[in-house]
A and B are shown apart, each in its own frame.
Chain A
Amino acid sequence: MSTADATVDEDAEVRSPQLDLLRRFIAGDLAELRVVLALALIWVIFYVQEPRFLSSVNLSNLVLQTTAVGLVSIGVVLVLLLGEIDLSVGAVSGLCAAIMAVLSVKHGWSPYLAIAAGVAAGTAIGLFQGSVFTRFALPSFVVTLAGLLAWPGFQLEVLGATGTVNISDPKIVGLTSTFYSDTVGWIFALVAIGAYAATALRARQKRVSQGLAAQQLGLIVLRIGLVAVAVLVAVWVLNDDRGVPLAALILVGFCLVFFYLTTRTTFGRHIFAVGGNAEAARRAGIHVTRVRVIVFMIASSMAAIGGIMAASRLLAVNQSSGSGDFLLLAIAGPVIAGTSLFGGRGSVWHALLGALVITSISNGLDLLALQSSVKFIVTGAVLLVAVVIDAIARRQRQAAGRV
């Protein structure tokens, strides 16, 4: 391609992007941006009420509180993408954490083996639930509701007479109490920004070299800049307190892995296809049953990992681990962030964003020393508002699409 050609191509793309961006924002395609703005608003409100909310200590705590529910939400996002639901993730997280704790504390297993066993138990539960769901063509709602009722029973059995197992193993506790030094934190930040910039620029380069329409270079640089600022500010805040926590890296790491899986691989494409039109997917030769079972295995495995992180932070597993509002928050988070309950629409990052929103609300209300009644009502109201906004945006998008 000659330089002249390249310039013409650039010009052809010049007028649309900004308008396109605005249109997509209004139409709700950029749900993420909307959630980030909502999150900023929530933070400002709490900051005005209580300046300590934006202190580095509290923000560090917020990050730690986000990890367990965020990890569980990653699995929930995948299930929601299929257009299914998994109500058992809370119960599974409690049971798997109990299995890990008992193996580690009562049977003296090495921490790695105990954690692996806990996660494997989650995978097995997912295989069981997914198989029952697909084999008998039952609604996933009912199958996982049975799990929600049954797994806590197994949890009581595993925990035994005492009902509470205190975790002391430094490796397991270290999952949520390890913080990296300032220098290491900055290195993480630079590597992350560098990798993001390289990936974005290389992807654009590849499209341009093949003569396909590519995003304007300016927009990509802007995006890289925004990500860089976000990462640097986050590391700066975390370094101001105890440093970058290992738990945050685990959460972001899992998000990256599943982001890659869902958006860059054939398997991820098939998840979206099954969620969008299962019959079309079947006719296109996709093993719909296999996709569904694997996704339920992933969901239960992520629930186990989230449960183990929660246990590590609490330093114990007890009879109420994984119960209460844990399940509902793990499902509400992605929905608030814009993942559709009807399948085929959503992103793994919604798990992280949604968990941040929900944890921010609960953290902020705790800080204001409001009663838990208020906390429940506010969280519920935010969920409702988010879903209503999403529904309105979708209707607009459809109206705009059907010319």
Chain B
Amino acid sequence: MPQTTIYSSPRSVGAPEQLPPAVATHELARLFGGHPALAGVSLTVTAGHCVLLVGPNGAGKTTLLRILATAIRPSFGTAAVDGLDVAAHPDLVRSRVAYLSHATGLYDDLTARENLVFAATMLGLEPASSGGRVGEVLDEVGLAEDDVLRVRGFSAGMRRRLALGRVLLARPSLVLLDEPFAALDPAGIQLMEGLLDRWRHSGVTALVAAHATEHIAAHADATVQLQGGAVVRVTGDGVVAWPPAREPAAPRAVEVAP
């Protein structure tokens, strides 16, 4: 029987229409000491897309991620994750978001395993199952043999892997990554690329801020360029910004077995 070929926008196959966007911001602004780090960003990101945020230093990439992670509040405007306003429902948003920031958020005097066990408890994993899950994650990020070592002795790359392990424990619907490839060795970069692909295929939305885009470009559905706290260009699929500043996505061939 011949296969049927249909044409569709990427990642729209099977996506329920009624779901709220994974990320929606409206005139989002954040001031630091009177200076606007983010100056009226309005955009939506459709669930399940991997979006690359690019721009020079001070463009507002990290500020946008931190607002969505509920680390800081917006000065003006609104931001919502899965339809939940980040300022009105921060606790509900936190249970859906995992954030990998520049800093690792690890405790130096705890071992790698103790750091992840602590994170698992804070994330609400049942103690009975968290031990096994922590072991799996340590194995996944390549730190299974270093699990009893204190983090104080870890290299920057090992710390980054462990912080990534904390993201994996969370099972979020939105992953926010700030320079995720920083300090990673080739194996770590490969691990990160594999995770981006996995999240993309399992419907997890990812917003990735990066200067060096060579590792992530192939995994991103869309690219949002920020400058001076505003969106200046959007390319790809799954992101809509106001005022419109985007190039239409090229149709992608999807083969569906009859």
Q: Do A and B associate with each other?
A: no
